[in-house]
Amino acid sequence: MDIDVTAAEREWDVVLLGGPSGSGKTAVSYRLARHYGVGITEADDFHVLLLRMTTPEQQPALHFWKTSPSTEQLLPEEIMTHLLADGDVLSAGLEAVIGNHLESRVPLVLEGDYIHPVLAAQERFSGQRNDRRVRGVFLYEPDEQQLVENFLRREPERGPQTRRARVSWLHGQWIKQEAERLGLPVVTARPWNTVLERTITALS
């Protein structure tokens, strides 16, 4: 059951909800946005936008997945390295989006795989002071097999995606380590029936 929180009790303007693919962060982010009555944006949308608006020569990291013919041969560790490179590229653009919302004071939940913990820890966003107006929280699934099951439930037609789950598990380990290094909250995805309440608590 969702906790009743009035808009006056919201002490932030932007929430960055990160975590690896398959951890359940998208479902949590929509519940969180509905709970506070604020807008929501997915970082994936900016990734798609930049792919359309740039060339491989301008942004080779972002276009890697479309231009490299041998991605199926990559090890999970190598795939994660490229995912992190995507996040590095997107961070500059996401910083501008966050700064715009701080300036306009229009609240927002921004979620996605590409959100690095260091972004949430910045003191300024395009000249706008953070001052705890930006909160970061990161969802974490410690069980690799659970990620396999999550992907299978979401995309049953593709069968068990063990390689993809391995990448997500490695990504989750990196995110957790980085978030804890920066003093940012990490919320375990399960038990699922309390994850929203635990996320709200972490934001405060």
Task: Give tens-digit pLDDT for 78-123.
Answer: 999 999 999 999 999 999 999 999 999 999 999 999 999 999 999 9
CB–CB of 29/108 below 8 Å? no
pLDDT category of residue 71 using cuts at 50, 70 and 90: confident
Pairing mode of beta strands 128-129, 108-112? unpaired
CB–CB of 5/201 below 8 Å? no
pLDDT category of residue 66 using cuts at 50, 70 and 90: confident
Please name the helix (run of DSSP H) or strand (run of DSSP E) that holds residue 64, with its range, or none: helix 60-67
Is the pTM higher than 0.85? The answer reads yes
Residue 2 has what pLDDT? 45
Q: What percent of the chain has pLDDT over 70?
A: 96
Phi and psi of 22, rounded to 5°? 90, 0
Instruction: State pLDDT tens for residues 10-19.
Output: 899 999 999 9
Give the separation between CA 24 and CA 154, rounded to whole angstroms. 10
The full set of domains in the chain, from first to last, is 10-203 (3.40.50.300)
